[in-house]
Chains A and B, each alone.
Chain A
Amino acid sequence: EPEVTQTPSHQVTQMGQEVILRCVPISNHLYFYWYRQILGQKVEFLVSFYNNEISEKSEIFDDQFSVERPDGSNFTLKIRSTKLEDSAMYFCASTPARSGYEQYFGPGTRLTVT
């Protein structure tokens, strides 16, 4: 069964550095999402992406964040200048349609900002 994949599984970076988290959604899916989960807290929506543009974003997704689908398979989340509070698990998800279908989640990337 096809799965969403994410790399790396764990990323350690210093405060102020840029990081790029990578996701490969399921190949025939059209809608892509990023969520994050700070340790011990709930899963929070960051951004949704469709047809090469952002569909919706949350308050968390400020100017330090950006997303891109640089080719036909990858979907990336960039944090320009990481802060300590960016430390979290970041989950990518994809779905074939906007509603009516489950979102398939990747295994997550643990980002640790020191």
Chain B
Amino acid sequence: AQRVTQPEKLLSVFKGAPVELKCNYSYSGSPELFWYVQYSRQRLQLLLRHISRESIKGFTADLNKGETSFHLKKPFAQEEDSAMYYCAPYYGQNFVFGPGTRLSVLP
């Protein structure tokens, strides 16, 4: 079965500090890899997808096929980055969401 792990349930950093949200996925073919974010009282929304290789809101994610990881990084965290972040590989027909990491950026 496809599995996604995000080892940190909660990650607290100070404003301006670097942040890395970890994600590991089980290998089953070549899933498309996404990060979704859910800000307080808002819907789930796409943050970035690997295939487009773009940087959204300063976030980037590096795919490491050898380690089957897709960690999300930002060099300087902002308070408005506080949210739930979900790693979500797309296997064929649906997303398999990770358990999520709550990022709290402290002033």
A and B: interacting chains: yes
A residues near B (Cβ < 8 Å) are 4, 33, 35, 41-45, 48, 55-56, 58, 91, 98-100, 102-103, 105-108
Q: Are A100 and B32 in contact (CB under 8 A)?
A: yes
Given contacts A98-B93, A108-B43, 20 further A-B contacts (CB under 8 A): A4-B43, A35-B95, A42-B86, A42-B99, A43-B44, A44-B97, A45-B94, A45-B96, A45-B97, A48-B93, A55-B93, A91-B43, A99-B92, A99-B93, A100-B32, A102-B34, A102-B46, A103-B46, A105-B43, A107-B43
Q: Are A43 and B97 in contact (CB under 8 A)?
A: yes
Q: Are B44 and A105 in contact (CB under 8 A)?
A: yes
| A33 CB to nearest B CB, Å | 7
Instruction: Pick the most buried of A44, A98, A99, A108: most chain B CB atoms within 10 A of its CB.
Output: A99
